[in-house]
Every structure is written in C-alpha cells, then in structure tokens.
C-alpha cells in the first residue's frame, strides 16, 4: 500500500479509535475520581461550591488520563496497521 493510500485508509480507523479512546478515558477518569475523592461526580469548572484546588486537580487528572489513553490507543492502532500492511501510518 502506498504511503498516501495508507494514510487515507488509516483516517477512518484513527477516527473510530479516537472516539473509543475518549469513551474509555471518560470511564476511567470517573472511576479514578470516585476512588480518589470519594465523590461520584467530578467538579465542573463553574461549580460554585467547589474550591480552586479541587477543580484544578480534577482537570489535571482528567487531562493526564485522556492523554495516556489516547497515546496508548494511537500507538496500538499504528502498530496494528503496520502488522496488517507492513507500513507505519504517518
């Protein structure tokens, strides 16, 4: 498969993987937040009853989890494409 064709073929796969990664990351974040804070719901930035520390901690944790899951899924998807096609998607 040519480089350009491989890139085009990988686009829909990458989009589906991204959506799945977002769903997984959201679930993981909610579970980690429950364990860390004992609260079922993570705070929203505009939640007047929550302090700055809690809001920023939740945002940092959420960002770290989303980045980790996205990187793992992207890397796994690229590895799978290479196994199937013999070429690394760029």
What is the residue extent of each domain of the chain?
3-84
Those residues of the chain that have pLDDT short of 70 are 1-3, 5-6
CB neighbourhood size of 8 (10 A): 12
pLDDT at 24: 94
CA-based angle 24:63:32, to the nearest 5? 55
pLDDT at 62: 96
CA-based angle 10:16:21, to the nearest 5? 115
Q: What is the pTM of this model?
A: 0.81
């Amino acid at each position: 498969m040519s480089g350009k064709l491989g890139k085009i073929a990988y686009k829909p796969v990458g989009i589906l993987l991204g959506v799945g990664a977002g769903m997984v990351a959201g679930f993981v974040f909610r579970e980690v937040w429950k364990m860390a804070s004992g609260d079922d719901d993570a705070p929203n930035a505009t939640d007047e009853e929550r302090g700055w520390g809690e809001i920023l901690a939740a945002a940092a944790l959420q960002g770290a989890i989303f980045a980790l899951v996205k990187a793992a899924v992207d890397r796994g998807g690229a590895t799978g494409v290479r196994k199937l096609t013999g070429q690394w998607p760029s």
